[in-house]
Amino acid sequence: MYTDSLIDRISIGLKNIINRWDMPLNSNISLLTVSENATFLAYDEKSNTKIILRVHAAGYHNYDEIKSELDWIIALRKDNVLNTPAPIKTFKDELITVVNDGDKEHYVVAFEFMDGKEPKVNKDLCSWFEELGIITAKLHQHSKNWDRPTGFIRKNWSLENSIGPNGYWGDWKKAIGIDSDGAEIISQAIEVISKRLDVYGMSPDRFGLVHADLRLTNLLINEDSMNVIDFDDSGFSWYSYDFAAAISFHELDPTVPELKKAWIKGYRSIAEFSQEDEDEMCTFIMLRRIMLTAWLESHNHSTENKELGAAFTDGTISLARKYIKKNNC
């Protein structure tokens, strides 16, 4: 999706329009991350001003979807639910503008810069996961009570859209290094997932608007506070899925059971989290892991693809074996 030449063209395009956010044309534009979208830091040395520019991949989210994401972020900030960067309007009072890469236009959104560091998988992570449980519970409370604006639209992360052959993140059957035996094991795991979620259901107390990507790279630790960024994948899914997203790429880490306990403790200090919800957390961990396995294959430009490769697929198969054997979670 993102080649070096495409990133170069987008960078040039951003330099030409950076003044839309009251930044000088000689501001430094540097690439931060490439995932679903390309994220850049714009920095003006003279005023010491920094802003974040998120350039959307063509064809993933349409204008109304992006506007809906921003509407929720603005509402969350207004209602003091959590700390997340504010979207920044252009001088034309627009939250969404476009940048031309020479071939096509991409939607661009600017956010205020928020300092902080990604939490690490270490002995301190449990305390942060208790805080994350608190934050997630508040997020879900807001989701359930918020009167969404007319025209609000976000992706529905149903089972089919998540791990079906035409899933949003690609087809897991094309995963890096997968063979017929591995594919059969994952297929069996999906059968278990499907049966369990049929019973669990999608009632409003279990399925609704969630962040859907609270992984460590989207959490910023600043002294004693935790901030949340990147609502790009926010949409409709099971509320318990937000924990599974939080341990993305760390599903096999031995700290996961303790992280789960800490998260549940934090969540239950704010809102109800039933035993049925708790019992299904391993199902959502398995679901998310299969999604990520598909995502790695379809995002060969990503850092994760280059670092994890076929070993990640092997880990997914291993987790699927355990999930099938345990079955009742």
pLDDT at 45: 95
- Burial class of residue 311 (count of CB atoms within 10 Å of its CB; 0-12, 13-18, 19+): exposed
Structure tokens at 101: 């890469």
Assigned CATH topology for domain 125-326: Aminoglycoside 3'-phosphotransferase; Chain: A, domain 2 (3.90.1200)
Q: Two tokens at 36?
A: 């679903």
- In whole numbers, what is the pLDDT of the chain averaged over residues? 94
* Residue of 104 and 274 predicted with greater confidence: 274
Give me the residue spans of the domains in the chain: 4-112, 125-326
pLDDT higher at 315 or 307: 315
Q: What is the pLDDT of residue 328?
A: 52
For 114-125, what is the mean pLDDT?
92
pLDDT at 301 over 70: no
Strands 97-100 and 105-112: antiparallel
% of the chain beyond a pLDDT of 90: 86
pLDDT tens sequence across 210-244: 999 999 999 999 988 999 999 999 999 999 999 99
Residue 4 confidence (pLDDT): 83
Band of the pLDDT at 3, cuts 50, 70, 90?
confident
Using pLDDT thresholds of 50, 70 and 90, give the confidence band for residue 306. Answer: low
Q: Are 99 and 11 in contact (CB under 8 A)?
A: no
Using the Cα atoms of residue 70, residue 57, residue 157 and residue 276 in order, give the sign of their dihedral.
Answer: negative
pLDDT at 157 over 80: yes
Going by CATH, does the domain composed of 4-112 fall within 3.90.1170.50? Answer: no
Tens digit of pLDDT for each residue in 249-280? 999 999 999 999 999 999 999 999 999 999 99
Given a cut of 60, is residue 329 above it in pLDDT? no
Q: What is the mean pLDDT of residues 38-64?
A: 95
pLDDT average, residue stretch 98-124: 92
Is pLDDT larger for residue 36 or for residue 87? 87
Same fold flag, 4-112 and 125-326: no
pLDDT at residue 100 greater than cutoff 80: yes
Q: Measured between alpha carbons, how far is 198 from 127 in angstroms, rounded to an integer?
A: 33
Token digits of residue 59: 């064809």
Share of the chain above pLDDT 70, in %: 98
Task: For residue 308, name the pLDDT band (cuts at 50, 70, 90).
Answer: confident
pLDDT value, residue 104: 85
